[in-house]
């Protein structure tokens, strides 16, 4: 599923270059490599210069003072320039802290489908270039110093040393440039984890490919051929987009390296449309659904043929627009048929929901709109696996249904033949036998209906129980088991509106664990998590009424909403909460760790039309006053 990339605006800033040497110009803000950090994302102080046709700048030429006005600060989190076929120069400064242990830092680009990336490192102190390296699909694999699916460039940087990193990037696909500075040991660990996850993904998809191919050999069902082709294109696309394909499979084939990403993308859409047609039997569906599917197949045949040739901006536009239209058409068709009680379409809706969700998450992470890490970075791959598993189950269900239908037809023919034969021998006995068979069939049908009804009732009851549990989990903080921030925001808004409507006072307590960072730093994050759990338990026990709400506000902060409570009552509850936390006997690994909290209290009748954020701000200011006054105490907001 293709999604148009959101365009990010470049805010131009003039950068004055130094006078020591033409190449000594540097970005205005250095990225600091700290000994406490395992990786640093390059998301600030990055400058871009787009090279116009015919310029062909060298590393020294692009740093000339007269080009200072063309360098622009990029203000997005991750570099994304939609529809940018021209080479782009990227520049940022790096500074290594003094006392940083002798570790190797590596610049990584987590979008391996770049046509070429030329890496240059400049030492502004000695005014000389210290490193030049190249990588990318158009570069020989031997040019990259580290064998990895991502593009990696080691930095030659000593303790307390500065450097300017200069990149010349050119791509035939979407211009995305996620940059990360890695500690070498942490990079190796990350590459290992990534390889294991990708191995698991490709293993699952590979097993499913051969399994469905074998099913075609035994059943001769055409849907298994198109589905196997879809699985194969998915594997090839993932190999191309993750960089494992050019690294391990077709690295010696320059044409496939350059065209693989677009080719497998288009091929995947083509075989997906064919499989979709066979899977849902669109020839028997409404005419406009059948015609639209035929048009989509024809479109992807043409675009796939174009992808075999040289990449053009038009090809990228066609892939993006066609992907969106094909996805929307597939969703509409499957939902339409699902509403018509088509069980296969219902499977398809769920399967596509998985891959669409994974793709959306993947795009948001790639463009820096949400934080990545862990399984989130592999959301699209997980979506592919879920989609393929569900579609395989649906195909198996379809074969089972057709087999059962054939067996039922054969049984009916056999019973009919027996009935005719007996009727010819003795009509009266045949009539009696027919009546008996009919009665038995009715009884069996009634029993089946009763069994299916009971199964359906059990399934509906299980769904209701699951929905209740899901609703509870959606408003509960996973660690502390109190309510989460979203539920707090909803309930505070409701109570604030009720207070404004009825004139009853409302109190809000914001609590923050004192010196929580020291607990994490001194005894570890596991102890910090246990501390949060005990504080949450103490807060819940200290709040007496069932109408009161205890929620985790964020990090080490908690919030307590007290409906129909004035300032004096709220201060009493706050003091009781503070004392309950202070009395916690937190023993971790044989040593007692003192815990205390600071509380800010806001208590008043909500004003009509006054935003609830003002109420939160009052409690927050009181909390900061409590912390500023020495912590482990309660402060009432000025308006309380």
Q: In sequence order, what are the beta bridge partners of 72?
A: 48
Whether residue 154 contacts residue 187, with contact meaning beta carbons closer than 8 Å, is answered with no
Whether residue 224 contacts residue 215, with contact meaning beta carbons closer than 8 Å, is answered with yes
Residues 539, 482: Cα–Cα separation, whole Å: 10
Using the CB atoms, write b or e for 525-542: b if 16+ within 10 Å.
Answer: eebbebbbeebbbbbbeb
Q: Give how far Cα 492 sits from Cα of 76, 88, 473, 559, 574, Å.
A: 33, 49, 19, 10, 17
Whether residue 640 contacts residue 599, with contact meaning beta carbons closer than 8 Å, is answered with no
Sign of CA dihedral 450, 452, 457, 461: positive
Residues 62, 97: Cα–Cα separation, whole Å: 28
Pairing of strands 162-170, 116-123: antiparallel
Residues 612, 503: Cα–Cα separation, whole Å: 15
Residues 379, 366: Cα–Cα separation, whole Å: 11
Q: How far apart are the first and last CA of the chain?
A: 54
Using the CB atoms, write b or e for 480-516: b if 16+ within 10 Å.
Answer: bebbbeebbeebbeebbeebbeeeebbbbbbbbbbeb
Q: In sequence order, what are the beta bridge partners of 47?
A: 73, 91
Q: Coil, helix or strand for 25? A: coil
Q: Which of 556, 557, 575, 621 is catalytic?
A: 556
DSSP secondary structure string for all residues of 404-416: HHHHHHHHHHHHH
Helices 313-339 and 343-366 meet at what angle, rounded to 10? 140
Q: Which of 176, 168, 90, 172 is nearest to 135 (CA)?
A: 168
Alpha helices in 475-566 (DSSP H): 485-502, 516-523, 525-542
Q: Which of 569, 579, 591, 438 is nearest to 524 (CA)?
A: 591
Residues 1, 356: Cα–Cα separation, whole Å: 6
Q: Give how far Cα 457 sits from Cα of 449, 450, 452, 466, Å.
A: 12, 10, 9, 14
Chain mean position to CA 601:
38
Count CB neighbours of 112 within 10 A.
22
Helices 254-279 and 379-425 meet at what angle, rounded to 10? 40
Residues 234, 623: Cα–Cα separation, whole Å: 53
Q: Which helix (H) or strand (E) holds 591?
A: strand 591-592
Residue 582 designated active-site? no
User: Catalytic amino acids?
Assistant: 556
């Amino acid at each position: 599923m293709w999604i148009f990339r959101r365009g990010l605006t470049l805010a131009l800033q003039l950068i004055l270059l130094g006078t020591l040497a033409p190449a000594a110009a540097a970005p205005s803000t250095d990225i600091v490599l700290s000994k406490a950090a395992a990786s640093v994302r390059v998301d600030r102080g990055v400058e871009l210069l787009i090279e116009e046709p015919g310029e062909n700048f060298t590393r020294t030429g692009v740093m000339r003072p007269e080009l200072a006005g063309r360098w622009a600060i990029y203000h997005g989190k991750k570099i994304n320039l939609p529809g940018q076929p021209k080479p782009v120069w990227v520049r940022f400064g790096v500074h290594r802290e003094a006392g940083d242990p002798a570790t190797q830092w590596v610049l990584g680009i987590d979008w391996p489908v770049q046509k070429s990336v030329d890496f240059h490192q400049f030492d502004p102190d000695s005014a000389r270039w210290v490193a030049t390296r190249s990588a990318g699909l158009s570069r020989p694999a031997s040019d990259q110093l580290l064998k990895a699916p991502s593009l990696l460039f080691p930095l030659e940087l000593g303790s307390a040393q500065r450097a300017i990193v200069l990149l010349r990037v050119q791509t035939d696909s979407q211009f995305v440039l996620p940059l990360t500075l890695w500690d070498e040991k942490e990079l190796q660990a990350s590459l290992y984890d990534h390889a294991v996850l990708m191995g698991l993904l490709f293993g699952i998809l590979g097993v499913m490919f051969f399994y469905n191919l074998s099913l075609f050999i035994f059943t001769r069902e055409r849907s298994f051929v198109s589905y196997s082709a879809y699985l194969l294109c998915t594997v090839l696309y993932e190999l191309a987009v993750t960089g494992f394909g050019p690294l391990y499979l077709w690295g010696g084939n320059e044409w496939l390296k350059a065209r693989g990403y677009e080719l497998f993308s288009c091929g995947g859409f083509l075989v997906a449309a064919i499989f979709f047609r066979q899977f849902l039997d669109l020839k028997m569906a409404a005419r406009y659904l059948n015609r639209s599917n035929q048009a989509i197949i024809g479109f992807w045949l043409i675009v796939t043929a174009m992808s075999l040739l040289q990449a053009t901006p038009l090809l990228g536009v066609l892939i993006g627009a066609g992907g969106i239209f094909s996805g929307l058409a597939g969703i509409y068709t499957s939902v339409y048929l699902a509403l018509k009680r088509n069980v296969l379409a219902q499977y398809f809706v769920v399967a596509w929901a998985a891959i669409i969700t994974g793709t959306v998450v993947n795009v948001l992470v790639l463009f820096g709109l949400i934080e990545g890490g862990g399984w989130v970075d592999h959301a699209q791959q997980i979506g592919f696996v879920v989609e393929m598993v569900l579609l395989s189950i649906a195909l198996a269900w379809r074969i089972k249904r057709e087999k059962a239908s054939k067996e039922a037809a054969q049984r009916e023919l056999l019973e009919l033949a027996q009935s005719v034969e007996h009727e010819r021998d003795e009509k009266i006995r045949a009539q009696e036998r027919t009546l008996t068979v009919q009665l038995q069939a009715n009884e069996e049908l009634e029993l089946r209906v009763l069994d299916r009804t009971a199964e359906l009732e059990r399934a509906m009851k299980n769904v209701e129980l699951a929905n209740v549990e899901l609703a509870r989990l959606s408003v509960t903080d996973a660690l502390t088991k109190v309510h989460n921030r979203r539920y707090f925001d909803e309930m505070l808004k409701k109570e604030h509106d009720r207070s404004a409507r009825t004139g009853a006072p409302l109190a809000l307590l914001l609590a923050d664990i004192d010196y929580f960072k020291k607990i994490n730093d001194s005894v570890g994050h596991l102890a910090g998590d246990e501390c949060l759990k005990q504080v949450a338990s103490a807060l819940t026990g200290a709040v007496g009424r069932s109408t009161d709400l205890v929620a985790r506000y964020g990090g080490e902060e908690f919030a307590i909403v007290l409906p129909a409570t004035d300032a004096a009552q709220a201060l009493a509850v706050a003091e009781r909460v503070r004392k309950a936390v202070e009395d916690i006997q937190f023993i971790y690994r044989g040593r007692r760790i003192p815990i205390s909290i600071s509380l800010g209290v806001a208590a008043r009748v909500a004003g009509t039309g006054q935003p609830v954020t003002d109420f939160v701000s009052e409690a927050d200011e009181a909390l900061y006053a409590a912390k500023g006054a020495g912590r482990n105490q309660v402060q009432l907001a000025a308006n309380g």
